[in-house]
Amino acid sequence: MIAFLSRWASLPTFYRLAGRLLPWFWGLTAVLMGVGLIGALVLAPVDYQQGQAYRILFVHVPSAWMAMFVYMFMAGASAVGFIWHLKLAEILARVSAPLGAAFTGLALATGSLWGARMWNTWWVWDARLTSVLLLFFLYLGFMALQAAIEDRRRAARAGAVLALVGVVNIPIIHYSVEWWNTLHQGATVSKLSNPSMTWDMLWPLLTMALGFMAYFAAAVLVRARCEILERERHRRWVVEEAA
C-alpha cells in the first residue's frame, strides 16, 4: 500500500499529471456551468410558491454540498498525510481549505439572501445555519493553524488533528433538519425515489453541482501545482521543468 501511494503520489509525477488534466477540468467546468446556468435562469419554470427568488438555490445548494464535500476531502487527505506522511496528501489538504471556506461562505451568503426573501430575516440561529457557520470557522481555524506554524510538516500534522476532530460536524449539518425543529427545509434532492423537485428544476441543479465539483478539481490542481513548486523549488526536477 505504501509503495503504491509513494509511486503515484510522488510530487514530480503528480505535478506533470495535474498539468495534463487541467485543461480538461477547466473545459468541463465551463460547459457544465454554462449549461447549468441556462437551465437555471432560462429553462427552469417559476416556482409556484417562491417565485423567481428560488433561482438563488441553484447556487446555494451546490455551494452547500461542496462545503461539506471539500471538508471531507480535506479531512481524508489530512488523515492520509498524518498516517503515511505523504507530502502530496498534506499539500492537497492545505490547498483545499481556502476553497472549502469560499464554498461555505458562498452558501451562507446566498442562504441569507434567500432567507431575507422567504423568512423576512437575514439570519436565524437555526440548527442547520449554525452548524454550517461552525464549519466555516473550522476552515478558518485550519488555515490559521497551518499559517501559524512555520514548519510545513508540523503544521500539516496539527491541521490534521483539527480536521479530523471537526468531521463530527458533517453529520450534524446533514441530519440537523431531522434531529431538531428548524426553519430550514428538509431533504429534497436526496429523496432519489421521489424528489420534491420536478425534473425541469432538478437537472439544472445537478448540472450546477457537477460544475462546482469540476471547478473544485481544477482549482485544487492549480493550487497544488503552485504549492509543489514553492516547496520543491530547489529540487533538480523543478529546475529542469522550468527549463
Contact 208, 62 (CB under 8 A): yes
Question: Has residue 93 been placed in a domain?
Answer: yes
Per-residue pLDDT, averaged over 40-60, amounts to: 92
Residue 235 has pLDDT above 60, yes or no: yes
Question: Has residue 164 been placed in a domain?
Answer: yes
Q: Considering only CA atoms, which of 132, 160, 161 is closest in space to residue 67?
A: 132
Question: Has residue 69 been placed in a domain?
Answer: yes
Per-residue pLDDT, averaged over 195-205, amounts to: 86
Query: Which has the higher per-residue pLDDT, 76 or 127?
Result: 76
How many separate domains does the chain show? 1
Q: What's the pLDDT tens digit per position in 122-163?
A: 888 888 999 999 999 999 999 999 999 999 999 999 999 999
Question: Has residue 142 been placed in a domain?
Answer: yes
- Percent with pLDDT over 70 in the chain: 89
Contact 184, 177 (CB under 8 A): yes
- Give SS3 for 51: strand
**What is the secondary structure of 132-144 as a DSSP string?**
HHHHHHHHHHHHH
DSSP 113: H
In this prediction, residue 8 carries a pLDDT of: 67
Question: Has residue 121 been placed in a domain?
Answer: yes
Q: Name the average pLDDT for the chain.
A: 91
Instruction: Count Cα atoms within 13 angstroms, Cβ side, for 89.
Output: 20
Residue 193 has pLDDT above 60, yes or no: no
In this prediction, residue 86 carries a pLDDT of: 93
Q: pLDDT class for 36, splitting at 50, 70, 90?
A: very high
The C-alpha cell at 167 is: 468531521
Query: Which has the higher per-residue pLDDT, 28 or 233?
Result: 28
Question: Has residue 211 been placed in a domain?
Answer: no
In this prediction, residue 240 carries a pLDDT of: 85
Q: Which residues pair with 51 in a beta bridge?
A: 47
For residue 75, the enclosing domain spans 55-186+218-242
In this prediction, residue 184 carries a pLDDT of: 64
Residue 94 has pLDDT above 80, yes or no: yes
Q: What's the pLDDT tens digit per position in 208-224?
A: 999 999 999 999 999 99
- Give SS3 for 183: coil
Residue 178 has pLDDT above 90, yes or no: no
Question: Has residue 97 been placed in a domain?
Answer: yes
Would you put residue 191 in left (φ > 0), alpha (ψ -120 to 50) or beta? beta
In this prediction, residue 3 carries a pLDDT of: 60
